[in-house]
Chains A and B, each alone.
Chain A
Amino acid sequence: MESKFHEELDAIKGKVLDMGVLARQMLKESMVSLSTLDVKVADDVLAKKDKIMEMDETIEHRCIQAISLYQPMAVDVRSIAAYLKLTTYITRIGRYGKDIANVTKELADKPHNRKLASLNQMAKIVDDVIGTVLKAFEEVKEIDADALSEQDDNVDCIRFSIFRECLTYMMEDSKNITRCAHYIMVARYLERCADHACKMAEKINYMITGKRIEIR
């Protein structure tokens, strides 16, 4: 017989997962909106912002309630602690999606001055990382920290090369400055999303094993 508490714990976990899926979708769609300069898609992303905030609040409330009602121990308390941390990281990811959607709206009046190949490649890796983390959370499986760290390194490298590339364009022609500055910001947002996903992985592994790891 599943206790009432563990039913509630499973329900909260489901909510966290839903929230993760939503934030991942926001980020992914924001990048679609940016590469295609599709304002409608950007607006769809912006419309999801409130939903993320609402889920964050609901989950926090239910976690606090579960702690005060059941005084959880061991894996249960580690799970609730993880849920509270995960929702913070997930919220951040969703909000970066929102930020990128806003960039789309800023830039939509004119086509890109070149293809956004690197940014899209970066977004693909970040999406993979988030996907890996959410899947591990859903299946309660430990995450391979080394593999994740390698992907995170790739993301950092691409961000740096985007930065250098954009600087060149900006120096070539000052008319590029506004656009390229936005590209640099977007690269930065994506890089932060990968960092947040790595922090999520740390919390998930701690939740499962009780051991703390650091993904560099």
Chain B
Amino acid sequence: MTRKNKTKMNIHNLNLWYDKSQALYDITVPVLENKVTAIIGPSGCGKSTLIRCLNRMNDIIGKCRIEGSVMMDDIDIYGKKTDVVEVRKKVGMVFQKPNPFPKSIYENIAYGCRIAGVRSKKKLDEIVEHSLKEAFLWEEVADRLDESAMGLSGGQQQRLCIARALAIEPDVILMDEPCSALDPIATAKIEDLIRILVKNYTVVIVTHNMQQAARVSDYTAYMYLGKLIEYGKTKQIFENPNEESTENYITGRFG
């Protein structure tokens, strides 16, 4: 059972530098459990950088330095004793371009689970079916699980990537522009899927598409030049934002 408006992740006074240039300034924002949080803002405002901080994807970038904290429940994501592999198991990610492994549909999902120690074929079958059903892909691929994932359409590939992320049972799913390479129909499917996933997961989505943020998210954070300008309920942000900068951005009066 989930409590209402429980904070799943807490970003506190987060500063980030790529080498000498600072990309994030004192970001403090909560990620509420079983809610969709959208991060919006113009290109280069730091939204992708911020979302990548949530599962330490910035670790792989050299000369990237972080101050401040990101907590998930009681886990300090950047704690010295925290295992980054464990973090990424808890915080799954879906990227802009669908990036299935060049393997079968089945293997795309089973792979991560096998790495995580699941050996039983029966158990793997269950996970594959369950994940594909959760990502609303099962009916489209059930009879061709052994075919290459590369043969799927872009929208199907993206849902496969979501299914792959779900297979390891994360708590949080990060989506960095998940629909920007998809057509409107595939986009609508992913958006519907997000609304269903949020019943069981916590979702953070970065999007350039304001209407998409308005449609799928419960809370919205608006960023500009590495700073968090405004955070609030999505309905309020898009109907009546508090900050002029937010207003200018979402109404296209920017710059």
Q: In the bound complex, do residue B214 and residue A73 qualify as a contact, i.e. CB atoms below 8 Å apart?
A: yes
Give the dominant DSSP class at B's interface. Answer: helix
- Contacts of B119-169 to chain A: CB distance below 8 A: none
Stretch from A74-82, A97-105, A118-126, A173-181 forming part of the interface with B = A74-82
**B241 nearest in chain A by CB position:** A74
Question: When each residue 206-227 of chain B gets 1 if its CB lies under 8 Å from chain A and 0 otherwise, what string results?
Answer: 0000110010000000000000
Q: Does B238 belong to the interface (CB within 8 Å)?
A: yes
Q: In the bound complex, do residue B240 and residue A210 qualify as a contact, i.e. CB atoms below 8 Å apart?
A: yes
Complexed CA–CA distance, A100 and B162 (Å): 66
Question: When each residue 172-216 of chain A gets 1 if its CB lies under 8 Å from chain B and 0 otherwise, what string results?
Answer: 000000000000000000000000000000000000011100000
Residues of B within 8 A of A6 (CB): 252-253
Given the known inter-chain contacts A73-B251, A75-B251, please indicate yes or no for A211 contacting B211, CB distance below 8 A.
Answer: no
Residues of A within 8 A of B240 (CB): 74, 78, 209-211
Complexed CA–CA distance, A72 and B250 (Å): 8
Residues of B within 8 A of A210 (CB): 239-240
Question: When each residue 25-62 of chain A gets 1 if its CB lies under 8 Å from chain B and 0 otherwise, what string results?
Answer: 00000000000000000000000000000000000000
Contact count band on B: 10 to 19
Q: In the bound complex, do residue A5 and residue B252 qualify as a contact, i.e. CB atoms below 8 Å apart?
A: yes
- A75-B251, A78-B240 given; 19 more Cβ-contact pairs under 8 Å: A3-B252, A5-B252, A6-B252, A6-B253, A71-B210, A71-B211, A72-B251, A73-B214, A73-B251, A74-B238, A74-B239, A74-B240, A74-B241, A74-B251, A75-B247, A76-B251, A78-B239, A210-B240, A211-B240
A residues whose Cβ falls under 8 Å from a Cβ of B: 3, 5-6, 71-78, 209-211
Please list 23 pairs of residues, one from A and one from B, whose beta carbons are closer than 8 Å in the complex, sorted by A's number. Answer: A3-B253, A5-B252, A6-B253, A71-B210, A71-B211, A72-B251, A73-B214, A73-B238, A73-B250, A74-B238, A74-B240, A74-B246, A74-B247, A74-B251, A75-B247, A75-B251, A76-B251, A77-B238, A77-B239, A78-B240, A209-B240, A210-B239, A211-B240
